[in-house]
Amino acid sequence: MPAILFDLDGVLYESDKPIDGAAETVNWFNENNIPYLFLTNTTSKSRQELVKKLSDFGIQSKPENFLTPPVAAIQWLQANNLKNIALFVPETTKAEFSDFNLVNNKSSSVDAVVIGDLGEQWTFDIMNQVFRTLIDNPQAKLVALGMTRYWRTTSGLQLDVGPMIKAFEYATGINSIVTGKPAKEFFQAAAVMLRDEDNIMMIGDDIRGDIEASQKAGLKAIQVRTGKFSRSDLELGISPDAILNSIAALPEWWQSNM
């Protein structure tokens, strides 16, 4: 059966404002028993908080309906038996890593440095702390909770974690392990969760992080003209499988094409 991956910010809502038709569209997929996941690079909120946020917009969900970079990172860290981690993520995300030994001092060895989007909490001191931790622990893995370049807020575009990760890679010479979009493995993990790797659509607003990345992972992709979308995106040589004005148009498109 066909399934779909919903991006969140820019598709279902923009910052704290729901996009018209989002709740009705997700409810339509529920009513028609069409499998789906919410696939997001958001690291500023836990899955429980995302459930609450969607509920406020009239969309019912459960934590297991979400695949987020922290979830993927935890799976990767456990698979590689990395237990001692230095964590640079929003406070609300730290609870997701409660099963690990969180290292907060220079005297302890670090297996991995995990970095999410700290937004306005980024300071030179914090960035230098990340840098020194990596330099002092050359064996440590640099784990990026996504590689998104920027996102749209109600006040305009805002840098995401991707540029910060690139700065740390350049400064240390260490390549990051990306456990979110646009990593191919992130989309493949979603396909495994849906138990169908052959007929999955991704719907997103980011021409590179959602559309190009999911297509490279073997999925099909729908571009919406909301969120961070810009007309110039369609001049980048990336061809979405469909382009919709917004999420509200998805049920009608789905009935005609899937």
DSSP for 215-253 reads: HHTT-EEEEESSTT--GGGGGSS---SEEESSGGGHHHH
Write out pLDDT tens, residues 18-46.
999 999 999 999 999 999 999 998 888 88
Please state whether 145 falls in left (phi above 0), alpha (psi between -120 and 50) or beta: beta
pLDDT over 90 percentage in the chain: 72
> What are the extents of the domains in the chain?
3-41+184-257, 70-178
Residue 69 pLDDT greater than 80, yes or no: yes
Please, which residues bridge with residue 9 across strands? 13
Q: 3-41+184-257 and 70-178: same fold?
A: yes
Considering the segment(s) 3-41+184-257 as one domain, its CATH architecture is 3-Layer(aba) Sandwich (3.40)
Burial class (CB in 10 A: 0-12, 13-18, 19+), 43: buried
Count of C-beta atoms within a 10 Å radius of residue 191? 20
Q: Please indicate whether residue 156 or residue 204 has the higher confidence score (pLDDT).
A: 204
Q: How confident is the model at residue 15 (pLDDT cuts 50, 70, 90)?
A: confident
Q: How confident is the model at residue 95 (pLDDT cuts 50, 70, 90)?
A: confident
Residue 189 pLDDT greater than 90, yes or no: no
| Among the ranges given (92-96, 134-138, 237-241), the one the predictor scored with the smallest mean pLDDT | 92-96
Position 92 scores a pLDDT of 84
Q: How confident is the model at residue 197 (pLDDT cuts 50, 70, 90)?
A: low
Decide if domain 70-178 falls under CATH 3.30.420.40.
no
